[in-house]
Amino acid sequence: MKLLVINGSPRGNRSNTYKLTKAFLSGMKENADAAGEAFELVEIQVNQLKIHPCLGCFSCWNQTPGNCCIHDDMEEVIQKLLWADITIWSFPLYYFTVPGGLKNLIDRQLPMQLPFMTENEKQTGNGSHPPRYDMTGKKTVVISTCGFYTAEGNYDGIYSLFDHTCGRDGYTTIFCGQGELFRIPDLSQRTDQYLGIVRKAGMEYFSGRILPETVAELSQLLYPRETFEAWADLSWGIDRQSGEKESDALTFTRQMAVLYRKESYPGRDQVLEMYYTDIDECYQIVMGKEGSRVVTDGSMTATTRIETPLSV
């Protein structure tokens, strides 16, 4: 089995989506090893390649068939696409489609097509171009994260792109909302749980297909919408009313407050006082029956006080 991973994130190996891709590959490799099947993996980091935009000159169709007039790293990418049995496209959602560098790579696949008009009933649209090479049996997986609370309803541009190029139902997807949470160590208990499901999906994909119950698990939210959106808004460190930068300690305290679970309310309000010793700032989190709020003037009587440097 020959696998090609195309990592289209501008962050390269620091990509949140790439963490999901590695988990998926881990599951595939585990089952490949158990089956005694060879597992060859090649990875392409798009942010490290020199790929110019397509010129739209069509010389790869009528002047030098199959060969682009631009000589850059795309020549090697095409060879790897032809080599792979399975291609995994890994990228974050940028403006409801793929990042710019990856779009250049996708556009530059034109030499892999023949210019003649054809109709492919499995594909979206009214017209297509036949492949220059035999692509029979090749498979495609698309893995992506986005910054919204859910992936649902935000990937229509991606579905359209791959429906045109791979055909409807001609590829497998793993789309995950709340993608930025995968970079936060303090939330690893939840994100690692999700990565375990992605790993299971990889094992199942190797065996034939991702099972419906696993697909359902993958579609579950990491955190409830209201928790995630409040946390995401606070992560910018900007006061919602004034638009000005606020204290890092205050932002951190507000983020802690968001994670309070009101279902754990013990019957009376609790006040957690955070004193940041290295910057001499103090804030209080009031945790009540209906939720939590942050008090900045120290007017509440603390139930618990924590003294710590902000860096800790």
Where are the chain's structural domains?
2-223, 227-308
**Rounded Cα distance, 294 and 287, in Å:** 9
Mean of pLDDT values over 137-156: 96
pLDDT of 126 above 80: no
What are the CA-CA distances from residue 82 to residues 76, 139, 271 (Å)?
Answer: 10, 11, 62
Is residue 73 a contact partner of residue 35, using CB atoms and an 8 Å limit?
no
Residue whose C-alpha is closest to residue 183's, from 11, 6, 66: 11
When pLDDT is averaged across residues 224-250 and rounded to a whole number, the result is 87
pLDDT band of residue 117 (cuts 50, 70, 90) is confident
Task: Give the pLDDT mean for 136-148.
Answer: 96
The closest of 39, 137, 53 to 100, measured between CA atoms, is: 53
Question: For residue 238, what pLDDT band results from cuts at 50, 70 and 90?
Answer: confident
pLDDT, tens digit, 9 for 90 and up, residues 42-78:
999 999 999 999 999 999 999 999 999 999 999 999 9
Q: Which residues contact 79 (CB under 8 A, 6 or more apart)?
A: none
User: Does the pLDDT at position 235 exceed 90?
Assistant: no
Q: For a pLDDT cut of 70, what percent of the chain falls above it? A: 100
Output the six-digit token pair for 197.
């499901």
Q: pTM for the full model?
A: 0.87
For 187-204, give one letter per residue: b (16+ CB within 10 A) or e: beeebeebbebbbbbbbb
pLDDT at residue 250 in the model = 93
Phi, psi dihedrals of residue 2, rounded to the nearest 5°? -110, 120
Write the secondary structure of the chain as one string of H (helix), E (strand) and C (coil): CEEEEEECCCCHHHCHHHHHHHHHHHHHHHHHHHHCCCCEEEEEEHHHCCCCCCCCCCHHHHCCCCCCCCCCCHHHHHHHHHHCCEEEEEEECECCECCHHHHHHHHCCHHHECCCCECCCCCCCCCECCECCCCCCCEEEEEEECCCCCCCCCCHHHHHHHHHHHCCCCCEEEEECCHHHHHCHHHHHHHHHHHHHHHHHHHHHHHCCCCHHHHHHHCCCCCCHHHHHHHHHHCCCECCCCCCECCHHHHHHHHHHHCCCHHHCCCCCEEEEEEECCCCEEEEEEECCCCEEEECCCCCCCCEEEEECCCC
At residue 308, the pLDDT reads 96
CATH 3.40.50.360 fits 2-223, yes or no: yes
Task: Phi first, then psi: give them for residue 275, nearest 5 degrees.
Answer: -110, 120
Q: What is the mean pLDDT of residues 204-218?
A: 96
Whether 104 shows a pLDDT value over 90: the answer reads yes
- 112-117 average pLDDT score: 93
How many residues appear in the chain?
312
Model confidence at 233, in pLDDT bands (50, 70, 90)?
confident
CATH of 227-308, one of 3.30.70.141, 3.40.50.300, 3.30.1050.10, 3.40.1280.10: 3.30.1050.10
How confident is the prediction for the chain on average, in pLDDT?
A: 93
Average pLDDT over residues 9-19: 95
Sign of CA dihedral 234, 240, 246, 249: negative
232 pLDDT band, cuts 50/70/90, is confident
pLDDT at 46: 97
Q: How far apart are CA 218 and CA 28, in angstroms?
A: 17
pLDDT of amino acid 184 = 86
DSSP-derived pairing of the beta strands 139-145 and 270-276: unpaired
pLDDT of residue 300: 94
Average pLDDT estimate for 106-133 = 87
Give me the mean pLDDT over the 85-89 stretch: 97
Mean pLDDT, residues 189-207? 96
